[in-house]
Amino acid sequence: MSGMKVGAVIITMGNRPDELRALLDSVAKQDGDRVEAVVVGNGSPVPDVPEGVRTIELPENLGIPGGRNVGIEAFGPSGRDVDILLFLDDDGLLAGHDTAELCRRAFEADPELGIISFRIADPETGITQRRHVPRLRASDPMRSSRVTTFLGGANAVRTQVLAEVGGLPDEFFYAHEETDLAWRALDAGWMIDYRSDMVLYHPTTAPSRHAVYHRMVARNRVWLARRNLPRLLIPVYLGVWLLLTLLRRPSRSALKAWFGGFREGWTTPCGPRRPMKWRTVWRLTRLGRPPVI
């Protein structure tokens, strides 16, 4: 059994008390040493939680990355009090009792492994949505592989990665914050795995259910490129995503919100710019997803 310490960060808006309790129960049932959980109320009170679960109530909603960053710091600077942090959606549920132990073994066996993306499956049907497989060739969700990004509410991160490259970008609030962290981790030499045997049950949903979806997806896509890509690739990457957006034929209101966000991405501060090395561009390409799509 691995000796790596595991913690869990869960953010909540306080509106899913039953689902949150079920998730925390699934965390408590993990094999091996106890997984310490921290629940962050993102601008809302935290519902009743089991004894031993730490809670933090923020006076305002800091967004998904901001809330998760607060949860990271609850485990010491960059989460250093533990070796691994699980980030779990509050309406998810760990399907097996061995997920934490599988994470320990994976990180211990591969010193280059920095992040693990879990498979998300609908609890009723067992189906994994294509968008939840973090690679271009997503037709077989049961195939594990190296990948270039990860799923925000169903993952495990080695805290050494956070200490080295920093946490999630607070200013993104919602959308693409995982890819920003993934690109910085890959640029620092870490690897990311998608593991089909580590499962988080989560009801099938559409990301567009969020009112701010189209604006923030577009704005943050521009910020992501401005922060991380070599200048030569920025117009290529954003041009490809503009074309893909138009090909999907969104509604007039969605397209208006998208273009508003796209404009906002160019006219507002995006945070520090740290362009990835060209060898990282090549690494992403070899992993099947060059940073132009």
pLDDT tens for each residue of 220-279: 999 999 999 999 999 999 999 999 999 999 999 999 999 999 999 999 999 999 999 999
Q: Are 227 and 274 in contact (CB under 8 A)?
A: yes
pLDDT at 137 over 60: yes
Read off the pTM.
Answer: 0.96
Q: Which residues pair with 39 in a beta bridge?
A: 10, 55
Which pLDDT score is estimated for 208? Answer: 56
**With helix as H, strand as E and coil as C, how does the chain read?**
CCCCCEEEEEEECCCCHHHHHHHHHHHHCCCCCCCEEEEEECCCCCCCCCCCCEEEECCCCCHHHHHHHHHHHCCCHHHCCCCEEEEECCCCEECCCCHHHHHHHHHHHCCCEEEEEEEEECCCCCCCCHHHCCCCCCCCCCCCEEECCCCCCEEEEEHHHHHHHCCCCHHHCCCCHHHHHHHHHHHCCCEEEEEEEEEEECCCCCHHHCCCHHHHHHHHHHHHHHHHCCHHHHHHHHHHHHHHHHHCCCCHHHHHHHHHHHHHHHHCCCCCCCCCCHHHHHHHHHCCCCCCC
- Quick one: pLDDT band at residue 204, thresholds 50, 70, 90? confident
What is the pLDDT at residue 2? 63
Contacts of 286 (CB under 8 A, 6+ apart): none
Mean pLDDT of 203-229: 87
* Per-residue pLDDT tens over the stretch 27-77: 999 999 999 999 999 999 999 999 999 999 999 999 999 999 999 999 999
pLDDT of residue 210: 52
Q: Please state the rounded mean pLDDT for residues 178-199.
A: 98
Above 70 in pLDDT, residue 209? no
